[in-house]
Structure 1
Amino acid sequence: RSPLYLPIETDDLYIGFFSVGAYQEMLGGVKGSKHCVLPEAYELIVEEENGRFSFQILPGQTPKDVLANLGYT
């Protein structure tokens, strides 16, 4: 069995999911329609320069966007 490491309650917990849409984007393009017909999620861009972090949120797709890509609106 693998150990399950739980965070100490006083620590901040950050969870990241990276490159999970690369295959989907290759098939349908950015903001395109995917084979599973799920909309693209929001993206959080984190950049660091001289010890300062900047954050940018890129909007995802709505179900209406996906249907429009497929010609249903």
Structure 2
Amino acid sequence: MQFFYMLAVAIVSRYLAAALGPKPKAPEPQKANIPVADEGRPVAWVFGDVWFDDSQVVAWRQAGQIPIKGKGKK
């Protein structure tokens, strides 16, 4: 009899914790905060492993989440 009482208390406490707990926020898309290439400025060609401080980005793709549409297929 004690087993069923403890099981009922565990189930009720789980539902209460889920209902009263904090809700997670949805992730936001990334903000593009990148160095861009200036017009007329030469683009560095790098071959091998080097370290340089003059960075610029020639191409950028907005990274984020892509929603899954449709059901899984095999």
Q: Which has the higher strand share?
A: 1
Q: Same fold (TM over 0.5)?
A: no
TM-score for the superposition, normalised by structure 1? 0.24
Structure ranking higher on relative contact order (CA contacts 8 Å, 6+ apart): 2
Q: Which has the higher helix share?
A: 2
